Amino acid sequence: MRLHVDHVEILGADTLVYGHFGENKARLTIRLPALNHFEKNTIIPLGVAPKNMHIFDKESGKRVMN
The residue among 57 and 6 whose pLDDT is bigger is 6
Q: What is the CATH number of the domain that holds 59?
A: 2.40.50
H helical segments located in the chain: none
55 within 8 A of 63, measured Cβ to Cβ: yes
How many other C-beta atoms are found inside a 10 Å radius of the C-beta of residue 3? 21
Count how many domains the chain has: 1
Domain that residue 42 falls in: 2-65
Q: How far apart are CA 1 and CA 4, in angstroms?
A: 10
The residue among 35 and 17 whose pLDDT is bigger is 17
Global pTM reads 0.75
**66 band by pLDDT with thresholds 50, 70 and 90:** low
Alpha carbon separation from 31 to 15, 19, 23, 24 (Å, rounded): 6, 12, 23, 22
